[in-house]
Homo-oligomer: A and B are copies of this chain.
Amino acid sequence: MNTHDLLTMGEVTRRSGYAASAVRYYETQGLIQAQRSAGGQRTFERSVLRRLAFIRAAANVGLSLDEIKAELDCLPGDRTPTKADWARMSKHWRRRLEEQIHALERLRDNLDSCIGCGCLSLQRCGISNPGDAAAAQSTGAAYLPKVLRRDPPRRRP
């Protein structure tokens, strides 16, 4: 416990749940900022905790650090998100979550129909949809939305 409102690294790690190495990493990546003491040790404003919470939340929603940085950079003057910012950004997140949910639901439903067909048919299966040249026109791909697709079949120039 220190007397005024600057936090030490130890306090930040304890209260944020992040490892010191992660906190330092985020600083190098410009996601958070730190002041330095005379001896060169980091001191953090209390707001860094909120920022770290934001980072964790965004990461849990599936954003990459680059994306998170972009969101944080959108905050004018590098301030901590206000309620309005939060609402705006959460709209963004919600859309993303909805997409993921729908993608998974489609995948699940397709899985059900695949059980019936003894599937993995190279021609028709929407889950495997191997991008067989013979099936290039297949509608199967529609079942696997981009958000879930791991690899792009047929990247022939």
Chain A: residues with CB nearer than 8 A to chain B?
14-18, 49-50, 52-54, 56-57, 59-61, 81-83, 86-87, 90, 93-94, 97-98, 100-101, 104-105, 107-108, 111-112, 114-115, 118-120, 122, 125, 127-134, 144, 148-154, 156
A151 and B18 in contact, given A57-B120, A130-B56 (Cβ under 8 angstroms): yes
Chain copies in complex? 2
Q: From residue A101, how far is it (CB to closest CB) to chain B in Å?
A: 5
Flag if A60 contacts B144 (CB, 8 Å): yes
Supposing A57-B128, A108-B101, A130-B56 touch, asked if A122 and B18 sit within 8 A by C-beta, the answer is no
Q: Which residue of B lies closest to A144 (CB)?
A: B60
Chain B residue nearest to A101 in the complex (CB): B104
Assess whether A133 is in contact with B101, with CB atoms less than 8 Å apart: no
- Contact status of A127 and B57, CB under 8 A, knowing A111-B97, A118-B83: yes
Contacts of A60 on B, CB cut-off 8 Å? Answer: 107, 127-128, 144, 148-150
CB neighbours (8 Å) of A104 from chain B are 97, 100-101, 104
